[in-house]
Amino acid sequence: MRTIQKCPAPNSLTQWRRPRLTANRPAGMECTYEELRRVPAVLEAVEDGLFAEQGGICAYTGHRLGLTPAQPNQGMQRDVNFHIEHLMPQTYCTAEYGNYGKDTAYDNLVACWPRPNCGFEPAYGARKKGSWPSVPEQPQFVSPLRGDCSARFAYNHRGEISAAQMHDAAANETIDRLGLKYPTLTALRREAIRGALNPASRPIKLTEARKLLQRMQQDSNHVNQGVSTRLMPFCFAIEPALEREIRKLEAILSQR
Protein backbone atom coordinates (compact mmCIF):
# COMPACT_ATOMS: atom_id res chain seq x y z
CA MET A 1 0.00 0.00 0.00
CA ARG A 2 1.03 3.56 -0.72
CA THR A 3 0.28 6.70 1.24
CA ILE A 4 -2.29 8.80 -0.62
CA GLN A 5 -1.99 12.57 -0.39
CA LYS A 6 -5.64 13.58 -0.31
CA CYS A 7 -6.61 16.62 -2.38
CA PRO A 8 -9.46 19.01 -1.51
CA ALA A 9 -12.91 17.70 -2.29
CA PRO A 10 -14.34 18.64 -5.70
CA ASN A 11 -16.36 21.87 -5.49
CA SER A 12 -19.43 20.15 -6.88
CA LEU A 13 -19.34 17.58 -4.07
CA THR A 14 -18.91 20.26 -1.41
CA GLN A 15 -21.85 22.22 -2.80
CA TRP A 16 -24.00 19.09 -3.07
CA ARG A 17 -23.30 18.08 0.55
CA ARG A 18 -23.69 21.48 2.21
CA PRO A 19 -27.52 21.74 2.29
CA ARG A 20 -27.86 18.04 3.07
CA LEU A 21 -25.81 18.33 6.24
CA THR A 22 -27.85 21.13 7.81
CA ALA A 23 -30.10 20.35 10.76
CA ASN A 24 -33.14 21.82 8.98
CA ARG A 25 -32.52 20.19 5.61
CA PRO A 26 -35.63 19.76 3.43
CA ALA A 27 -37.30 16.38 3.36
CA GLY A 28 -35.77 14.10 0.75
CA MET A 29 -32.37 15.82 0.76
CA GLU A 30 -30.40 13.00 2.33
CA CYS A 31 -26.60 13.06 2.40
CA THR A 32 -26.04 9.42 1.49
CA TYR A 33 -23.90 7.67 -1.06
CA GLU A 34 -27.02 6.26 -2.74
CA GLU A 35 -28.28 9.81 -3.32
CA LEU A 36 -24.87 10.97 -4.49
CA ARG A 37 -24.82 8.31 -7.19
CA ARG A 38 -28.03 9.80 -8.61
CA VAL A 39 -26.15 12.97 -9.61
CA PRO A 40 -23.79 12.02 -12.48
CA ALA A 41 -21.90 15.32 -12.60
CA VAL A 42 -20.95 15.13 -8.93
CA LEU A 43 -20.18 11.41 -9.08
CA GLU A 44 -17.91 11.91 -12.09
CA ALA A 45 -16.05 14.75 -10.36
CA VAL A 46 -15.42 12.45 -7.39
CA GLU A 47 -14.24 9.61 -9.65
CA ASP A 48 -11.92 11.97 -11.54
CA GLY A 49 -10.44 13.31 -8.31
CA LEU A 50 -9.83 9.89 -6.75
CA PHE A 51 -8.29 8.50 -9.91
CA ALA A 52 -5.91 11.46 -10.23
CA GLU A 53 -4.75 11.64 -6.61
CA GLN A 54 -3.97 7.91 -6.64
CA GLY A 55 -2.02 8.02 -9.88
CA GLY A 56 -4.38 5.53 -11.46
CA ILE A 57 -3.67 2.62 -9.09
CA CYS A 58 -5.86 0.88 -6.52
CA ALA A 59 -5.62 2.28 -2.99
CA TYR A 60 -5.24 -1.19 -1.44
CA THR A 61 -3.80 -3.60 -3.99
CA GLY A 62 -1.80 -1.48 -6.45
CA HIS A 63 -3.72 -2.83 -9.45
CA ARG A 64 -3.90 -0.53 -12.46
CA LEU A 65 -7.21 1.34 -12.66
CA GLY A 66 -8.81 2.81 -15.74
CA LEU A 67 -10.88 5.90 -16.50
CA THR A 68 -11.77 6.97 -20.02
CA PRO A 69 -13.80 10.17 -20.43
CA ALA A 70 -16.85 10.12 -22.67
CA GLN A 71 -16.30 11.12 -26.28
CA PRO A 72 -19.80 11.82 -27.62
CA ASN A 73 -18.51 12.83 -31.06
CA GLN A 74 -17.09 9.33 -31.45
CA GLY A 75 -20.02 7.59 -29.78
CA MET A 76 -17.89 6.53 -26.80
CA GLN A 77 -19.37 6.50 -23.31
CA ARG A 78 -17.43 7.18 -20.15
CA ASP A 79 -15.71 4.03 -18.88
CA VAL A 80 -14.69 3.71 -15.22
CA ASN A 81 -12.70 0.60 -14.41
CA PHE A 82 -12.84 0.83 -10.60
CA HIS A 83 -15.30 1.29 -7.79
CA ILE A 84 -15.49 3.87 -5.03
CA GLU A 85 -14.48 2.37 -1.70
CA HIS A 86 -15.36 3.68 1.77
CA LEU A 87 -12.48 3.61 4.25
CA MET A 88 -15.03 3.67 7.06
CA PRO A 89 -17.58 1.16 5.77
CA GLN A 90 -20.98 2.50 4.77
CA THR A 91 -22.55 0.37 7.48
CA TYR A 92 -21.11 2.73 10.08
CA CYS A 93 -21.68 5.98 8.16
CA THR A 94 -25.02 6.68 9.79
CA ALA A 95 -26.48 8.97 12.44
CA GLU A 96 -26.71 5.95 14.73
CA TYR A 97 -22.91 5.88 14.94
CA GLY A 98 -22.55 9.67 14.89
CA ASN A 99 -21.29 9.54 11.30
CA TYR A 100 -24.20 10.85 9.25
CA GLY A 101 -22.92 11.94 5.83
CA LYS A 102 -19.57 10.22 6.24
CA ASP A 103 -20.31 7.94 3.28
CA THR A 104 -20.16 11.01 1.00
CA ALA A 105 -17.18 12.69 2.72
CA TYR A 106 -14.30 12.93 0.26
CA ASP A 107 -11.75 12.01 2.93
CA ASN A 108 -13.57 8.69 3.38
CA LEU A 109 -13.43 7.74 -0.31
CA VAL A 110 -10.76 6.01 -2.37
CA ALA A 111 -10.70 4.30 -5.77
CA CYS A 112 -10.29 0.54 -5.71
CA TRP A 113 -10.12 -2.48 -7.97
CA PRO A 114 -12.29 -4.10 -9.31
CA ARG A 115 -15.00 -2.29 -11.25
CA PRO A 116 -18.62 -2.66 -10.03
CA ASN A 117 -20.49 -5.75 -11.19
CA CYS A 118 -17.23 -7.34 -12.31
CA GLY A 119 -18.79 -10.81 -12.44
CA PHE A 120 -16.55 -12.43 -9.84
CA GLU A 121 -15.80 -12.11 -6.13
CA PRO A 122 -12.14 -11.20 -5.53
CA ALA A 123 -10.37 -12.92 -2.65
CA TYR A 124 -8.37 -9.81 -1.77
CA GLY A 125 -8.65 -6.04 -1.69
CA ALA A 126 -11.73 -3.95 -1.01
CA ARG A 127 -14.21 -6.79 -1.50
CA LYS A 128 -12.31 -8.91 1.02
CA LYS A 129 -12.27 -6.01 3.48
CA GLY A 130 -16.05 -5.82 3.39
CA SER A 131 -17.53 -4.03 6.42
CA TRP A 132 -14.29 -3.99 8.38
CA PRO A 133 -13.29 -2.06 10.40
CA SER A 134 -16.13 -1.23 12.74
CA VAL A 135 -15.96 2.04 14.65
CA PRO A 136 -14.09 0.47 17.63
CA GLU A 137 -11.77 -1.36 15.23
CA GLN A 138 -10.61 1.77 13.38
CA PRO A 139 -7.21 1.85 15.20
CA GLN A 140 -6.50 -1.64 13.80
CA PHE A 141 -6.72 -0.37 10.21
CA VAL A 142 -3.67 1.16 8.53
CA SER A 143 -5.52 3.46 6.16
CA PRO A 144 -3.79 4.47 2.92
CA LEU A 145 -4.45 8.07 4.01
CA ARG A 146 -2.12 7.70 6.98
CA GLY A 147 1.16 9.55 6.53
CA ASP A 148 3.06 6.46 7.68
CA CYS A 149 1.13 3.94 5.57
CA SER A 150 3.91 3.29 3.05
CA ALA A 151 6.45 2.77 5.82
CA ARG A 152 4.28 0.26 7.69
CA PHE A 153 4.61 -2.45 5.03
CA ALA A 154 7.60 -4.25 3.51
CA TYR A 155 7.99 -6.31 0.30
CA ASN A 156 10.70 -8.77 -0.67
CA HIS A 157 11.91 -9.75 -4.15
CA ARG A 158 9.27 -12.49 -4.28
CA GLY A 159 6.49 -9.96 -3.94
CA GLU A 160 5.64 -11.12 -0.43
CA ILE A 161 4.25 -8.51 1.93
CA SER A 162 4.81 -8.25 5.67
CA ALA A 163 4.56 -5.65 8.40
CA ALA A 164 7.71 -3.51 8.34
CA GLN A 165 7.88 -4.03 12.09
CA MET A 166 7.15 -7.62 13.09
CA HIS A 167 5.00 -6.69 16.08
CA ASP A 168 2.95 -4.00 14.31
CA ALA A 169 -0.46 -5.46 15.14
CA ALA A 170 -2.41 -2.99 13.00
CA ALA A 171 -0.27 -3.61 9.92
CA ASN A 172 -0.58 -7.37 10.33
CA GLU A 173 -4.35 -7.09 10.83
CA THR A 174 -4.69 -4.88 7.76
CA ILE A 175 -2.73 -7.38 5.65
CA ASP A 176 -5.00 -10.17 6.82
CA ARG A 177 -8.28 -8.29 6.44
CA LEU A 178 -7.43 -7.08 2.93
CA GLY A 179 -6.01 -10.43 1.85
CA LEU A 180 -2.75 -8.80 0.79
CA LYS A 181 -0.89 -12.13 1.10
CA TYR A 182 -3.24 -13.86 -1.33
CA PRO A 183 -1.14 -15.92 -3.80
CA THR A 184 -2.55 -14.30 -6.94
CA LEU A 185 -1.79 -10.79 -5.68
CA THR A 186 1.65 -11.85 -4.44
CA ALA A 187 2.39 -13.32 -7.90
CA LEU A 188 1.36 -10.06 -9.58
CA ARG A 189 3.72 -8.09 -7.36
CA ARG A 190 6.49 -10.63 -8.00
CA GLU A 191 6.10 -10.37 -11.78
CA ALA A 192 6.06 -6.57 -11.60
CA ILE A 193 9.32 -6.62 -9.62
CA ARG A 194 10.91 -9.14 -11.99
CA GLY A 195 9.88 -7.07 -14.99
CA ALA A 196 11.46 -3.95 -13.53
CA LEU A 197 14.69 -5.72 -12.58
CA ASN A 198 14.97 -7.58 -15.88
CA PRO A 199 14.22 -5.18 -18.76
CA ALA A 200 14.28 -6.92 -22.15
CA SER A 201 14.74 -10.22 -20.28
CA ARG A 202 18.20 -9.34 -18.96
CA PRO A 203 19.46 -8.12 -15.58
CA ILE A 204 19.09 -4.39 -15.12
CA LYS A 205 22.23 -2.25 -15.26
CA LEU A 206 23.18 0.11 -12.45
CA THR A 207 22.56 3.25 -14.52
CA GLU A 208 19.19 1.90 -15.65
CA ALA A 209 18.15 1.05 -12.11
CA ARG A 210 19.06 4.52 -10.88
CA LYS A 211 17.14 6.19 -13.70
CA LEU A 212 14.07 4.00 -13.20
CA LEU A 213 14.01 4.60 -9.45
CA GLN A 214 14.44 8.35 -9.99
CA ARG A 215 11.58 8.40 -12.50
CA MET A 216 9.29 6.44 -10.20
CA GLN A 217 10.06 8.74 -7.28
CA GLN A 218 9.44 11.78 -9.47
CA ASP A 219 6.12 10.33 -10.61
CA SER A 220 5.13 9.76 -6.99
CA ASN A 221 6.06 13.33 -6.08
CA HIS A 222 4.09 14.66 -9.03
CA VAL A 223 0.98 12.76 -7.97
CA ASN A 224 1.37 14.07 -4.42
CA GLN A 225 1.61 17.61 -5.81
CA GLY A 226 -1.56 17.22 -7.84
CA VAL A 227 0.16 16.85 -11.20
CA SER A 228 -1.64 14.42 -13.51
CA THR A 229 0.63 11.36 -13.59
CA ARG A 230 0.08 7.63 -13.97
CA LEU A 231 1.96 5.53 -11.44
CA MET A 232 3.38 2.12 -12.26
CA PRO A 233 1.18 -0.67 -10.86
CA PHE A 234 2.67 -2.09 -7.64
CA CYS A 235 5.19 0.76 -7.56
CA PHE A 236 5.35 0.59 -3.76
CA ALA A 237 6.77 -2.95 -4.05
CA ILE A 238 9.05 -2.20 -7.01
CA GLU A 239 10.80 0.83 -5.50
CA PRO A 240 12.33 -0.99 -2.49
CA ALA A 241 13.41 -3.83 -4.80
CA LEU A 242 15.19 -1.30 -7.01
CA GLU A 243 16.87 0.28 -3.98
CA ARG A 244 18.17 -3.13 -2.90
CA GLU A 245 19.37 -3.91 -6.41
CA ILE A 246 21.18 -0.57 -6.64
CA ARG A 247 22.98 -1.21 -3.35
CA LYS A 248 24.00 -4.67 -4.57
CA LEU A 249 25.30 -3.40 -7.91
CA GLU A 250 27.14 -0.53 -6.25
CA ALA A 251 28.81 -2.98 -3.86
CA ILE A 252 29.92 -5.15 -6.78
CA LEU A 253 31.26 -2.11 -8.61
CA SER A 254 33.21 -0.92 -5.57
CA GLN A 255 35.01 -4.27 -5.36
CA ARG A 256 36.41 -4.09 -8.86
Q: Report pLDDT for 256.
A: 79
In the predicted model, residues of the chain with pLDDT beneath 50 are none
Distance CA 9, CA 17 (A): 11
Q: Report pLDDT for 117.
A: 87
Q: Report pLDDT for 28.
A: 84
8 Å CB contact between 72 and 43? no
Q: Report pLDDT for 6.
A: 97
**167-194 exposure pattern, b = at least 16 Cβ within 10 A, e = fewer:** ebebbbbbbebbbbebeebbebbbebbe
Q: Report pLDDT for 14.
A: 98
Name the pTM for this structure.
0.96
